[in-house]
Amino acid sequence: MTILYLYAELMGYQIPVLKEYVSKYDADVHVVHWDHKKLTPYIPPIIQNITYYKRSGLNYSSMNKLVEKINPNIIFVSGWMDKKYLKIAAKFKKKNIPIVVGSDTQWENTLKKNIASVIFKYTYKKCFTHIWVSGPFQYEYAKKLGFANDEIIFNLYTADVDAFSDKIKKTSDRKYSKNFLFLGRFEEIKGISCLLQAWESIVDKKGWTLTFMGNGSLKKEIEKSADVILKDFIQPSDLINEIQKYGFLILPSLKEPWALVIHEAMSAGLPVLASDVCGAGAVFIVPNYTGYSFKSNNIEDLKIKIKNILNMTDAELIRMSNNALERSKVITPRIVAASFMSALKQNVGNENNY
């Protein structure tokens, strides 16, 4: 089995899935990835049977020769931004190789999205056999792009569930950590101002704290508040231990296609309070069971939900924490890998396919 990824910027959360291809499917995995003008300094680890190629060193001709040499059984393309990737996809689709494109874009009934979906049907769609979406909001967009139900695969993203859950304190009688955590970029699109206003308007916080962890242009605005704790961005490997100090994740985004951090938090046993635009919320947040959702950019609704949490007992919080951990396992690296491999034509009744 040989798998080819034609990827944008490679991030750490992809590595557990790549490892699954090797361990579960005995696959050789080849990953072409963007290495120029990256958003993060992440460098993928060296892993047996996984080979990385820098996109900056490949033009169409050299990439085509590389793919011919690799001779993949299946190809994943992480979107339709890279025109060279699209040319490769179109060529190898003609060889009856499954070409799977990824999408975390939500459908919005705007003129721009409607025009784009029509154009896609007659241009880019011919490059792909399947679309791999992260959740139900993305499924709606995939349908608009012209993909049939049997051409749509779910479970595009996953947290490293085992890595986060292994650190959880297992005792049921523990004192619950009454610390809220915002984790992400300090930008207006993340709903920072909404969260600050809601939090500062609550007089009796019943011993709870709010920590902002990350960086961004609104750092100085956060620093002005005497009622919050501010911490710098930390590496994903350090987050696994750090997140255990908190009891609830808050994500008040104004726009958020997916939000992997919701899955990461629940994998660590943290319930989540997130705005209703977060794509991952539709999968992981079960109201009153694993957390809460609130109307995006609605300070009063956010304030009400925070107060609900402040009034919960330790026993209720621990129960919700356990529920969040349980819910996090609906998507795992193994499930993500199996979802992708389902695009291959399987032999009915052969259990070794899975």
Fold of 2-158+332-353: Rossmann fold (3.40.50)
State the pLDDT confidence band at 148, using cuts at 50, 70 and 90: very high
Tell me how many degrees the CA angle 49-53-58 measures, rounded to the nearest 5. Answer: 150
> Which contiguous run of DSSP H or E holds residue 315?
helix 314-328
User: Are the C-beta atoms of 263 and 324 separated by less than 8 Å?
Assistant: no
What average pLDDT does range 25-49 have in this prediction?
Answer: 90
> In the numeric block, which tokens belong to residue 231?
């911490």
- Express each pLDDT in 276-325 by its tens digit: 999 999 999 999 999 999 999 999 999 999 999 999 999 999 999 999 99
For 264, residues 6+ apart whose C-beta sits below 8 A from its C-beta are 159, 160, 164, 239, 243
Block residue for tokens 């089995």:
1
Domain ranges of the chain: 2-158+332-353, 161-328
Determine how many CB atoms are found less than 10 A away from the CB of residue 70.
17
Share of the chain above pLDDT 90, in %: 88
Asked if 2-158+332-353 and 161-328 have one fold, the answer is yes
Q: Where are the beta strands (DSSP E) in the chain?
A: 2-6, 28-33, 50-54, 74-77, 99-103, 130-133, 152-153, 179-185, 209-215, 229-232, 248-251, 272-275, 291-294
Per-residue pLDDT at 19: 97
- Express each pLDDT in 80-109 by its tens digit: 999 999 999 999 999 999 999 999 999 999
What average pLDDT does range 24-28 have in this prediction?
Answer: 97
Residue 195 has phi, psi (to 5 degrees) of: -65, -45
What average pLDDT does range 160-181 have in this prediction?
Answer: 82
State the pLDDT confidence band at 167, using cuts at 50, 70 and 90: confident
Distance CA 199, CA 205 (A): 9
> In the numeric block, which tokens belong to residue 265?
């938090």
Q: What is the pTM of this model?
A: 0.92
State the pLDDT confidence band at 170, using cuts at 50, 70 and 90: low
3 state DSSP class of 295: coil
Task: Assess whether pLDDT exceeds 50 at residue 180.
Answer: yes
- Express each pLDDT in 196-206 by its tens digit: 999 999 999 99
Q: Which amino acid is at 70?
A: I
Task: Tell which residue, 281, 277, 246, has the closest CA to residue 261.
Answer: 281
Per-residue pLDDT at 40: 75
3 state DSSP class of 250: strand
Task: Write out the DSSP string of 265-310.
Answer: HHHTT--EEEETT-TTHHHH--BTTTEEEE-TT-HHHHHHHHHHHH
> In the numeric block, which tokens belong to residue 145?
């792009």
β-pairing, 248-251 with 229-232? Answer: unpaired
Per-residue pLDDT at 236: 78
> In the numeric block, which tokens belong to residue 78?
């992480």
User: Are the C-beta atoms of 257 and 282 separated by less than 8 Å?
Assistant: no
The total number of residues shown for the chain amounts to 354
State the pLDDT confidence band at 347, using cuts at 50, 70 and 90: very low
- Express each pLDDT in 223-278 by its tens digit: 999 899 999 988 777 888 899 999 999 999 999 999 999 999 999 999 999 999 99
Distance CA 135, CA 265 (A): 18
Residue 3 has phi, psi (to 5 degrees) of: -115, 135
State the pLDDT confidence band at 351, using cuts at 50, 70 and 90: very low
Distance CA 284, CA 135 (A): 10
Per-residue pLDDT at 171: 47
3 state DSSP class of 251: strand
CATH dotted code for 161-328? 3.40.50.2000
Per-residue pLDDT at 257: 96
Distance CA 97, CA 128 (A): 10
How high does pLDDT run on average in the chain?
93
